[in-house]
């Protein structure tokens, strides 16, 4: 037996990348027990999130999925990710990522959550989103939008996959939102029907930050120009809530969401209106960050990027991550190249990152040991026991939002 105190071994091991840890599980039974323990997995995740130069990968979604080491970003090679949903026809979509897990999808019936570091995969049972049958006296008409997302429920220490379908009423101006939530811990889909006065304007996947998935929504059905609001679906309460905007946002032409350093981020693209010019060319893009979630005053304009000259001009910029030093921000430009923005020099430079891909979307993914049966905590281990304990959530129609919770038991049986 080692004479090195266990707390020292623990303190050393949780600073290691996943690849080393998977190997060192083989050192001894006590090493394996430590590395597999939920407490260790959480400490490791926390350490990964804190450190800039940890086990982080930049993942590219093109026709296939690729990854690149973030700490040696300009020198390392693009590696194809051999994911379990790979098939020769058509691309696999990435619908969200959180704590080193990614939600991948080929089509509505072929979805799963994957941890690229441990190669663990969990296929999701098929989920059909049907219009609500008995939602009050009103009749429900056509489907307007389907969105989705993936994130972490802080309160239950659980990871959740979300599918949202929005239906219009024949009469009246309100909408019904059907939210389907798959809990990784419980292993089942849960259906919730609620009135929601906001129209989800884009088919975007929700942006995950601070325990909620976020979308931009409109307060009117038809007009693209009606005031946009920012709504967040809290993954604990599974309710929508308005999230405040920055005070001086101006009147942007484009507005998009992103996450930067775990903070929710708004990308607002502005134009200078010139007469006799029909094509709007962006003049500048502002990157806003909400430092303290939910607090309007905490929105700060992190930086602003002026349009580049001539042929270099961009139509869309998206912040991806802070650099290893934290002094630069990596920006994805028009899905085809990268720029570095220096926060100190307030200047842009082209990045040498070259995946050799013509068109892609990118995001950063932490190397974590997070398992797929739970949130990496003590509760996640006895998945079967947990399933037997499920009780439908109680209705508590707060405000004017009606809820209707249904556990989709059939789906869950199919999975077994």
Partner 1 sequence: MASSTTGEKKILTLKGGDNEEFILEESLVLQSELLKNMVKEERVSSIPLPSIKSKTLVKIIEYLKKHAELTPSNKEEFKNFEKEFVNVVLEELLDITVAVNYLKINGLLEFCCQAVADRIKDKSVEAVRKIFRIESDFTPEEESEFRKETPEAFEGDLDDTTN
The residues binding partner 1 (CB under 8 A) are: 1-5, 7-9, 11-13, 15-17, 19-20, 22-31, 118-119
Torsion region of 103: left, alpha or beta (phi above 0 gives left; psi -120 to 50 gives alpha): beta
The smaller minimum CB distance to partner 1, of residues 93 and 118, is found at 118
Alpha carbon of residue 190 to chain centroid: 19
The smaller minimum CB distance to partner 1, of residues 23 and 296, is found at 23
The smaller minimum CB distance to partner 1, of residues 33 and 272, is found at 33
The smaller minimum CB distance to partner 1, of residues 30 and 109, is found at 30
The smaller minimum CB distance to partner 1, of residues 92 and 117, is found at 117
Minimum Å distance from CB 11 to partner 1?
5
The answer to whether 94 and 104 are in contact (CB under 8 A) is yes
The smaller minimum CB distance to partner 1, of residues 23 and 350, is found at 23
Minimum Å distance from CB 22 to partner 1?
4
SS (H, E, C) the chain: CCCCCHHHHHHHHCCCCHHHHHHHCCCCHHHHHHHHCHHHHHHHHHHHHHCCCCCEEEEEECCCEEEEECCCCCCCCCEECCCCCCCCCCCCEEEEEECCEEEEEEECCEEEEEECCCCEEEECCCCCCCCCCCCCCCCEEEEEEEEEEEEEECCCCEEEEEEEEEEEECCCCCEEEEEEEEECCCCEEEEEEEEECCEECCCCCCEEECCEEEEEEECCCCCCCCCEEEEEEECCCCCEEEECCCCCCCCCCEEEEEEECCEEEEEEEEECCCCCCCCCCEEEEEEEEECCCCCHHHEEEEEEEECCCHHHCCCCEEEEEECCCCCEEEEEECCCEEEEEECCCCEEEECCCCCCCCCCEEEEEECCCCCCCCCCCHHHCCHHHHHHCCCCCCCCCCCCCCEEEEEEHHHHHHHC
The smaller minimum CB distance to partner 1, of residues 14 and 228, is found at 14
Minimum Å distance from CB 57 to partner 1?
14
Minimum Å distance from CB 78 to partner 1?
17
Residues 6+ apart with CB under 8 A from 248: 301
Structure tokens at 263: 């903070």
Minimum Å distance from CB 43 to partner 1?
12
The smaller minimum CB distance to partner 1, of residues 16 and 165, is found at 16
Minimum Å distance from CB 49 to partner 1?
16
Minimum Å distance from CB 54 to partner 1?
11
The smaller minimum CB distance to partner 1, of residues 31 and 322, is found at 31
Minimum Å distance from CB 51 to partner 1?
9
Structure tokens at 169: 């009423």
Residues facing 342 on adjacent strands: 328, 347
Minimum Å distance from CB 322 to partner 1?
20
The smaller minimum CB distance to partner 1, of residues 26 and 273, is found at 26
Minimum Å distance from CB 137 to partner 1?
57
């Amino acid at each position: 037996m080692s004479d090195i105190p266990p707390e020292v071994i623990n303190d050393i091991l949780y600073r290691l990348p996943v690849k080393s840890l998977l190997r060192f599980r083989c050192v001894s039974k006590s090493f394996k027990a430590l590395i597999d323990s939920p407490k260790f997995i959480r400490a490791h995740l926390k350490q990964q999130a804190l450190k800039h130069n940890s086990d982080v990968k930049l993942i590219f979604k093109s026709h296939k999925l690729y990854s690149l080491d973030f700490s040696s970003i300009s020198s390392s090679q693009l590696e194809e990710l051999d994911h379990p949903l790979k098939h020769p026809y058509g691309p696999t979509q990435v619908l969200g990522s959180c704590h080193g897990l990614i939600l991948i999808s080929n089509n509505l019936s072929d979805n799963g959550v994957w941890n690229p570091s441990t190669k663990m995969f969990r296929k999701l049972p098929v989920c059909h989103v049907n219009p609500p049958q008995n939602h009050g006296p009103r009749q429900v008409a056509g489907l307007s939008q389907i969105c989705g997302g993936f994130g972490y429920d802080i309160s239950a220490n659980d990871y959740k996959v979300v599918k949202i379908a929005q239906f219009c009423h024949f009469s009246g101006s309100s909408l019904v939102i059907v939210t389907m939530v798959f809990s990784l811990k419980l292993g089942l889909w849960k259906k919730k029907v609620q009135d929601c006065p906001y129209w989800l304007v884009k088919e975007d996947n929700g942006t995950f930050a601070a325990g909620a998935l976020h979308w931009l929504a409109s307060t009117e059905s038809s007009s693209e120009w009606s005031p946009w609001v920012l709504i967040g679906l809290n993954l604990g309460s599974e309710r929508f809530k308005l999230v405040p905007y920055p005070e001086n946002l101006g009147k942007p032409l484009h507005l998009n969401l992103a996450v930067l350093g775990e903070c929710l981020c708004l990308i607002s693209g502005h134009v200078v209106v010139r007469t006799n010019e029909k094509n709007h060319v962006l003049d500048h893009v502002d990157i806003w960050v909400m430092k303290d979630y939910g607090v309007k005053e905490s929105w700060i304009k992190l930086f602003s990027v002026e349009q580049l000259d001539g042929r270099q001009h961009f139509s869309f910029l998206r912040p991806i991550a802070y650099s290893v030093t934290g002094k630069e921000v990596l920006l994805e430009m028009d899905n085809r190249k990268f720029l570095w923005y220096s926060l100190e020099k307030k200047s842009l430079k082209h990045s040498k990152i070259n995946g050799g891909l013509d068109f892609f979307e990118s995001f950063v993914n932490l190397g974590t040991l997070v398992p797929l049966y739970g949130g990496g905590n003590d509760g996640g281990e006895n998945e079967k026991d947990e399933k037997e304990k499920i009780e439908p959530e109680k209705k508590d129609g707060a405000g004017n939002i009606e809820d209707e919770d249904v556990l989709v038991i059939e789906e869950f049986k199919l999975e077994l």
